[in-house]
A and B are shown apart, each in its own frame.
Chain A
Amino acid sequence: MIYIVYLIFYGFLVTAIIGLLASWIDRKVTARVQYRVGPPILQPLIDIIKLSGKETLIPRGVSKITFLAAPLVGLSGVILVSTLLWVNNINQSNSFMGDLIVAIYLLAIPSISIIMGGFASGNPLASLGASREMKLILSYELPFVLAVFVPVIRSGFAIKLGQILTFQAENGVIVGSWSGALALIVVILCMQAKLALVPFDMPEAETEIMGGTLIEYSGSGLAVYRLMKNMLLFTLPFFVIILFMGGLRLDGMHLLYGILRYVGLVALITVIRNTNPRVRIDQAVRFFWGPVTVIAIIAVVLAFRGL
């Protein structure tokens, strides 16, 4: 019973609200960087309400079920992973063996849903975007998993999120060590690619393939995709905060520190996105399999040496 409350209240509502706010922060910071005024605070919510009120067009000759189910698959993946993270964050003894692996698997589902939707829409540009997204997943998953391995090693081979959190509460945060800092850099780069933001936004490059995978989506399908992306903008930094920065604590001064960590991460993502041009897909693959993987391997080796 209590898990249903977690699922609906924390997993969906709180995550959606913080995600929409984060998306506003992202747009506002972007506007300020470009010396503009930027949208009002409720703008992401208004966008989603507007989109859900519009007509949903289904292209001729596509599989209706796959086309309409793909956004829902992605959204439910995000809701599940954020529920898992909230449960561990609030009650650290409440985790099961290997929930870190489950979280990594669930974090891949939004990208897979985008691929599903892109191939289901039957548009050549959407297929191009979906194939780029697939290559992007292949490129960033290896360094991401290697970097996530670092907190596991440092907390004595605990594959439980709760155990990693208790280790950090007792021995200080993981980012405080050399291996943790290197792994954090790798994870932030992978996060940028997972969120499909510039410089890794080839799947939906607006200037060359016009929205890419989302080109055929309109109305409520697009609304669900946007909500999914906004929630992912909370869930991924939250995952990083749990693994590397000791989680969000909801009591007293710690709440303020938690908010500062989160807003700092979002602002960092936004600044990276505003100061870089888009790279080509082959450059991205080379970047992730080359330097980023090397840094991740160095971090793992350092973690084994206890640094």
Chain B
Amino acid sequence: MGVKLKALLKSPWVFHLSTGSCNNCDIEILDCLTPRFDIERFGMLLAGSIKHADVLLVTGSGNRKSMERVKRLYEQVPKPCLVVAIGECSLSRGMFIHSYNCPVPVDKVIPVDVYIPGCPPKPEAIIAGVVKLIGKVGGK
């Protein structure tokens, strides 16, 4: 494992991207930054701009309008980058699976590294998922 990869895993800056979710998953993501969970312990920061991000947290079912933007944003993340799909909607479109407006799930459009199920997932589950991702990329 090179120095660059090691440094990437020690300071993953996250960018959260809602593709039409009900905002519940977004609130749970923001919970991870609060004193009780404090993901800055692991060097994670919430990036304001997509160009600063290393990890893309995607929530929501991904409708026709937002999927084009998701693809464009994925192309703008400086590589190497990782994608985490959070919540039932971004995994399998959840209750919107038969909707006319949600033709494909998120992972048909961009490559997803980790899926975190739940509606919404607890902050503990999000942190556990990201830790598993770090372990997987680090080769443990």
Chain A contacts to B: CB under 8 angstroms: 27, 31, 34-40, 43, 46-47, 49-50, 53-57, 206-207, 210-211, 214-219, 222
Contacts and interface: CB of A to CB of B under 8 A. Distances in A.
Interface in B72-99: 76, 78-80
B4 A49 contact: yes
Nearest to A207: B48
Contacts of A206: 48
Contacts of B35: 34-36
Nearest to B2: A53
Contacts of B48: 206-207, 210-211, 215
Given A47-B11, A211-B47, A218-B51, 15 more contacts: A35-B35, A36-B40, A36-B41, A37-B38, A39-B43, A43-B11, A46-B7, A46-B43, A54-B8, A57-B51, A57-B76, A57-B78, A206-B48, A214-B52, A218-B78
Nearest to B4: A53
26 contacts: A36-B41, A38-B38, A39-B40, A39-B41, A43-B11, A46-B7, A46-B10, A47-B43, A49-B7, A50-B4, A50-B54, A53-B4, A53-B7, A54-B78, A55-B78, A57-B51, A57-B76, A211-B48, A214-B52, A215-B48, A215-B49, A215-B51, A217-B51, A218-B51, A218-B52, A222-B51
Main secondary structure of the interface of A (DSSP, over half): loop
B49 A214 contact: yes
Contact of A211 (B11, B41, B49, B76): B49
B9 to A, nearest CB: 9
Given A31-B38, A46-B11, A50-B11, A55 B52 contact: no
Interface residues of B, number: 21
| B38, B51, B54 interface centre (most CB from chain A within 10 Å) | B51
A218 B3 CA distance: 19
Contacts of B79: 54-55
